[in-house]
Amino acid sequence: MSAPLLAVEGLCVEIPTQRGIVQAVRGVSFTVERGETFALVGESGSGKTMTCPAILRLIHPPGRISGGRVTFQGRNLARLPERDLERIRGSGFVMVFQDPMSALNPVLTVEEQIAEALPWGRPYSRRDRALDLLRRVGIPDPERRLRAYPHQLSGGQRQRVMLAIALARQPALLLADEPTTALDVTIQAQILRLIVTLQKEYGMALILVTHDLGVVYHMVDRVAVMYAGQIMELAAKGDLFARPRHPYTIGLIRSVPSIDRRRPLAPIPGSPPDLIGLGPGCPFAPRCAWASDECRTGEIPFVRVGDGHWSRCLKADLLEAEAGG
């Protein structure tokens, strides 16, 4: 078997604050294969957003990467000089942000921004390439839009332009952190579908970060469910929904109306823990119907519960019976 495109092992991020050290990411490990669609899912505050720049070694002080290792295309990113990292950030990975306005340059036209992202030395003109990319991302009247500035576009169009810029770089991996939450619901669905369609067409891998398990259901190959800075469950999408092996995942599935139509909607009671001064034990235990004393005090290992299926739960075996019923 060849090495994965991306391997994240034991990644930790800490942010010192007045109140103490926030442990935003606590030993996150996963791999992404070439061309794969991978999702990081979890409630707000679970550490999804901090994980993305940490992969790229872009955590700004006082925040810091306090542990772990990231291998991209076989190279340990911690060992690379900043110059090589910059190159990888520019073309190896591309991030698509929640708010495209902050990522687009307000004083450059759409054409200038796409052209800037195109690699040098292409045999055809940059303008034609830019125009072609705008067509690919479904921008109406692309000739006119080439001359537009970001503020002249709608939110959905700006997100399409971001995607055109990302495609111009032809990255091996696209990282999209809640790319559509700022948009209205119908546009959200269109843009997400477009991202996944183009990702497959261009052979890019995608890490899609979302709090919405409903989105994941239709779009991705594999899912990592995050809670309190840890991955609680990791599985192929089909296995995750058919045989969830972590109470938090079960809770999430039951709280999404479009997935679990058999039961009444049931939000998970309680709220996520404070990420300052977390002790051993499962961080989900206070909200978990299955929790026992050992869950509250012991170290909870991440164990294999099936083919490519992992759970960080001492009761994973009990849940198998539960989910089947």
Ligand X SMILES: Nc1ncnc2c1ncn2[C@@H]1O[C@H](COP(=O)(O)OP(=O)(O)O)[C@@H](O)[C@H]1O
E-only strand ranges, 218-282: 222-227, 230-236
22 binds, among Mg ion, ligand X, none (CB under 5 to 8 A by kind): ligand X
Distances (CA, A) of 16 to 25, 27, 228, 272, 274: 13, 17, 16, 19, 14
- The footprint of ligand X (CB under 6 A) covers 15, 17, 22, 24, 42, 44-50, 275
Question: Least distance in Å: CB of 47 to ligand X?
Answer: 4
283 CB-near residues (< 8 Å, 6+ apart): 227, 228, 230, 272, 273
Question: Measured between alpha carbons, how far is 222 from 310 in angstroms, rounded to an integer?
Answer: 12
Burial class (CB in 10 A: 0-12, 13-18, 19+), 265: exposed
Place of tokens 């072609």: 132
275 binds, among Mg ion, ligand X, none (CB under 5 to 8 A by kind): ligand X
Question: Measured between alpha carbons, how far is 172 from 205 in angstroms, rounded to an integer?
Answer: 6
- The footprint of Mg ion (CB under 5 A) covers 49
Q: Which is nearer to Mg ion, 44 or 186 (CB)?
A: 44
Question: Least distance in Å: CB of 48 to Mg ion?
Answer: 5
Question: Measured between alpha carbons, how far is 275 from 24 in angstroms, rounded to an integer?
Answer: 7
Q: Which is nearer to Mg ion, 29 or 49 (CB)?
A: 49
Report whether 205 contacts 213 (CB < 8 A): no
Question: Least distance in Å: CB of 53 to Mg ion?
Answer: 11
28 binds, among ligand X, Mg ion, none (CB under 5 to 8 A by kind): none
Q: Which is nearer to ligand X, 28 or 305 (CB)?
A: 28
283 binds, among ligand X, Mg ion, none (CB under 5 to 8 A by kind): none
Q: Which is nearer to ligand X, 46 or 311 (CB)?
A: 46
The residue whose Cβ lies closest to ligand X is 49
Question: Least distance in Å: CB of 14 to ligand X?
Answer: 10
249 binds, among Mg ion, ligand X, none (CB under 5 to 8 A by kind): none
Question: Least distance in Å: CB of 42 to ligand X?
Answer: 6
Distances (CA, A) of 148 to 103, 111, 118: 16, 8, 18
Q: Which is nearer to Mg ion, 25 or 164 (CB)?
A: 25
Question: Least distance in Å: CB of 148 to ligand X?
Answer: 31
